[in-house]
Structure 1
């Protein structure tokens, strides 16, 4: 298993290196406009950015909005999912609204959020909450369909009420699906946060750093910042995946390792 993962990691690194080499070659032979810096220049700028206090502060500002928004989304979506998944009347009443709101792209709501919130940091957090709520909510609902009915009936036979059944049986059984929803949400938080920062750079962030670099005609730095955003997103996904495998190993064993 370890050798398999190392092999996959090596292939991933090889693919990234090949992409960088092709991008450098395309710039050298004139396949891209001269105004676009070569990949080597972008990588050199990316190597310098962590040494700059301002860039580190911008990264922390983006991560703070992502973390706070994700925490709020989980605190809202999991109880809402439990309510919808255990009370059929509420589920039938709210499901049309969920299906209507869920497909709306978060980026299209940036102007609305900027109008509603005086501080761009608040608008950024609100949009992260909106974006993260849906995968967590939907995966919670999906996880509740995987709960063993016999376990719920057994608890009810001992006199436990709906709340106790939800907390003692439904929530633990749905936890692996909720974790998957959180991992999916983590993958899109950076996209939303950086998009807001590009349009409203006043409160800092990776997007604000890009805007300032573009205004200064430093395209190498402007392109280097998204590389770090991608690395941060990749690292977060790997960490969550590893934690999910470890914490919910029992669920993977039950499903034959497919979950």
Structure 2
């Protein structure tokens, strides 16, 4: 990467961030005007100014923060299990065409099943507590990590593997020293996708299944008791900010540990 490109990358990121903030500000202004003018009743679309005040109040509310932590706990546990299982399984399937061919029918049967369709079964087997959320998160996030790992293993340069073998490296050593590092960008892309999916599934499960705790449960209670759309909108904004923060942290990790990728060296965007 040239010095000019290195200097331009931060400016590009700042320009993109400013444009995003301006777009968000425009959306808030339009929503405020629509609500204040009466085009949409405030019972359905509260003024943005009121919603933003509620956001600030919720961010210092112990009860609300406890619900957020319950959601994040299930999110983290489900995602961690998914990464361990899916990466290991993807490495095995990606390294052996015979194993992949033998398991492909099962994978293609399970993959199209929506996670929300499994909520009744999960409630019957696991109840409606954290175990249910974690199980559904693992199921829904398995596929992006699994398939990205498989694609990454298939994309490994065969010359690199032959070179390692010619230097006396065994099959296992070649796997850990050549194949997995080469597939790492694919794997991390799958993890980034899975992280967003996990948060969506966690909140959706809490809303649809009436979990005992969590952000989705808090939103369900706010909408059912007292008819407080401003609180529901505020919680929704905070949920979006959580997703944005999670993605931002993963982008930073990607830049830190996968900086050797050509795309990251050239643009520094990582997104």
TM-score (norm 1): 0.93
User: Which of 11, 27, 30 is residue 22 of structure 1 equivalent to?
Assistant: 30
Aligned partners of 1:120 and 1:200 also within 8 Å: no
User: Which of 208, 221, 243 is residue 231 of structure 2 equivalent to?
Assistant: 221
Q: Which piece of structure 1 moves more, 216-225 or 83-92?
A: 216-225
TM-score (norm 2): 0.89
User: Which of 158, 161, 164 is residue 149 of structure 1 equivalent to?
Assistant: 158
Question: Is residue 2:96 matched to residue 1:111?
Answer: no
Deviations 1:188-227 (A, max 9, x none): 1111000111133443111011011112222211221111
What does 1:171-182 correspond to in 2, within 5 Å?
Answer: 171-182=180-191
CA distance in 1, matches of 2:209, 2:129: 6
In the TM superposition, what is the alpha-carbon distance from 1:43 to its structure 2 partner? 1.5
The aligned counterpart of 1:130 is 139
The aligned counterpart of 1:167 is 176
Question: Is residue 2:72 matched to residue 1:73?
Answer: no
Secondary structure, aligned partner of 1:167: helix
Aligned partners of 1:42 and 1:220 also within 8 Å: yes
User: Which of 33, 37, 44 is residue 41 of structure 2 equivalent to?
Assistant: 33
Question: Is residue 2:99 matched to residue 1:90?
Answer: yes
In the TM superposition, what is the alpha-carbon distance from 1:118 to its structure 2 partner? 2.4
What does 1:199-214 correspond to in 2, within 5 Å?
Answer: 199-214=208-223
In the TM superposition, what is the alpha-carbon distance from 1:253 to its structure 2 partner? 5.7
From the superposition, tell whether residues 29 and 249 of structure 1 become closer, same or farther in structure 2 (CA, over 3 Å). same
In the TM superposition, what is the alpha-carbon distance from 1:105 to its structure 2 partner? 1.9
CA distance in 1, matches of 2:42, 2:79: 40
CA distance in 1, matches of 2:18, 2:147: 34
Secondary structure, aligned partner of 1:203: coil
In the TM superposition, what is the alpha-carbon distance from 1:117 to its structure 2 partner? 0.5
What does 1:220-239 correspond to in 2, within 5 Å?
Answer: 220-239=230-249
Gaps of 5+ in 2: 1-8
In the TM superposition, what is the alpha-carbon distance from 1:252 to its structure 2 partner? 2.2
Aligned partners of 2:54 and 2:231 also within 8 Å: yes
